[in-house]
Chains A and B, each alone.
Chain A
């Protein structure tokens, strides 16, 4: 188990090294830190002075090390576009995206797992077949199209929900939440559904596949032979053993949810990190791009590590080795 943790940790360090190297290249080679601070009208002498002060006359390796040192304490410089510290921009946008991702994950699990169990136990039924087809549609449909359909029905035709923004938000320290006001919750509905559809389909297909395999195994046959009720056999014994890969995939999918949130945020004008990075690319705002990359890389690595640890905790076979 300790060796397993050690390999995981080395790979984490490796990934973070690559990510920070990429992030550093965007920040340093594409962007120009001197122009960033002084503006384009500074004299040559001023530039040279700042260049030395910033350590830009040093070797690339030293600069990279300094970049990492500053990044660790959250200093990614100043945004080209609105002259604010990049870390403040990201922290201001973070809650909007995380709330969206969190709600979508909860919905995906709450809807996807029961649907997967149902389609596995009654594979020939009409409901199962339509769910199966629906899930294929769900993974073939781009998020923006789902969002646009929802806007057309609920905003343009029925006029029930607003098509953009977060609604009213409440400040809790630096965190802003839309989950405490009615308008905030209403604003969450459509983006959450849009983001969740793909995940629901995926988890449903996964649970279905796993259940179909587990139901064939000997211990399920034995449980049935013991005279346990169907409910106990399927929900306690079979489902529990089907959920292991679901943990992994759900965890890994949180990463793609953050990626797909860019699309959903663009459709609903949701003021999260996705909108931030889209604007950063549009205006060639390199410090923001570098910080976003480092931040996203760090979150993915952390999520992967947590998933591994959970896996270790729930699967006794891994611990025994």
Chain B
């Protein structure tokens, strides 16, 4: 326990912590991010209504405007949607789905990218050439286009009964596969430098297996830039998921993400019921903006070239 305290103290005195304390916008973004993640994680505890329990929904309450506009009700702070669901509550639940998909997609592409990057950098030769060539080819396409195609094809190919419940995984797969290249490139470059160092030679002489050298010795030394990439990638992944859902290819209405909610409200925009789509939209922008600010800051602080 005391060791943990010591470590925390050491972190508090580190340059990273010092820089954090001295950049108010980043502190603000971090606080916003923590609040949003808390609202999402505790959605079932703090949401004023349960939007997915049909028994509590009343169709007479459908399309109510926000509480401060004429006709609004104080029970529904941000108004209600077409089915009479409380917008604020659907945002909490939707944000949970958005964040989960985003994190899972980044974790997925990070795993593929780091694994391939380690292999390419350590083995070199034709394995390296094949992997990096593949990456080059993929990079000549925008990630959103790749995710769009994987998702679209998967949607058609899957048996109809499984489509809805599998959407979550399909979306994660589509976004994850679309984004592995930058992880692989970063890790490969770092691995190529690390593998020539003495500690790797020492490990080899002690007959440590190649897999163990890669995972236990080289990987920890390449992880810094990977984490920065992951933070920046999270913003992109959440946005990509929102775009797929908005186009009707992402999360289904039975398990809505913020993008799905915006799509549902889009049809009602022209009749002036803006709150159904724009409040989830605002939540999405706030979330991505906070992630991007923190990610940008991390990149600047951890990048020695910019100091």
Contacts and interface: CB of A to CB of B under 8 A. Distances in A.
Nearest to A14: B137
Chain B interface, >50% SS class: helix
A136 B137 CA distance: 29
B118 to A, nearest CB: 24
A142 B293 contact: no
Nearest to B246: A144
A295 to B, nearest CB: 12
B112 interface: no
Contacts of A163: 270
B156 A263 contact: no
Contacts of A30: 153, 156-157
Interface string B276-303: 0110010011001100110010000000
Nearest to A139: B292
Given A11-B136, A15-B140, A296 B145 contact: yes
Interface in B225-255: 235, 239, 242-243, 246-249
Contacts of A145: 262, 278, 281, 284-285
B91 to A, nearest CB: 14
Nearest to B265: A148
A4 interface: no
Interface string A293-306: 10011001100100
A59 B42 CA distance: 57
B285 A136 contact: no
Contacts of B269: 148, 151-152, 156
A142 B156 contact: no
Contact of B243 (A263, A284, A300, A304): A263
A196 to B, nearest CB: 16
A140 B149 contact: no
B237 to A, nearest CB: 12
Given A15-B140, A137-B285, A296-B145, A289 B152 contact: yes
A154 to B, nearest CB: 12
A50 interface: no
B126 interface: no
Interface residues of B, number: 40
B294 to A, nearest CB: 12
Contacts of A297: 141
Nearest to A284: B156
A301 to B, nearest CB: 7
A262 B146 CA distance: 13
Interface stretch (A34-42, A95-103, A232-240, A252-260): A252-260
Nearest to B244: A263
Interface string A273-295: 00001100110100001000100
A141 B142 contact: no
Contact of A140 (B243, B249, B259, B289): B289
B149 A142 contact: no
A210 B144 CA distance: 26
A45 B230 CA distance: 57
Interface in B120-178: 133, 136-137, 140-142, 144-145, 148-149, 152-153, 155-157
A15 B247 CA distance: 27
Nearest to A260: B144
B274 interface: yes
Nearest to B157: A30
A18 interface: yes
Given A140-B292, A163-B270, A266-B246, A300 B141 contact: yes
A26 interface: yes
A156 B145 contact: no
B272 interface: yes
Given A30-B153, A263-B247, A281-B156, A142 B272 contact: no
Interface of B: 133, 136-137, 140-142, 144-145, 148-149, 152-153, 155-157, 235, 239, 242-243, 246-249, 259, 262, 266, 269-270, 272, 274, 277-278, 281, 284-285, 288-289, 292-293, 296
- 10 closest A-B pairs by CB: A256-B142, A281-B152, A259-B145, A140-B289, A140-B288, A259-B142, A145-B281, A284-B156, A259-B144, A144-B246
18 contacts: A26-B153, A30-B157, A137-B285, A140-B288, A142-B284, A144-B246, A145-B262, A145-B284, A151-B270, A155-B270, A255-B140, A255-B142, A256-B142, A258-B145, A277-B152, A300-B140, A301-B140, A304-B140
Given A137-B285, A293-B149, 15 more contacts: A14-B133, A15-B137, A26-B153, A30-B156, A136-B293, A139-B292, A142-B246, A142-B285, A144-B243, A144-B266, A145-B281, A148-B262, A256-B144, A260-B142, A260-B144
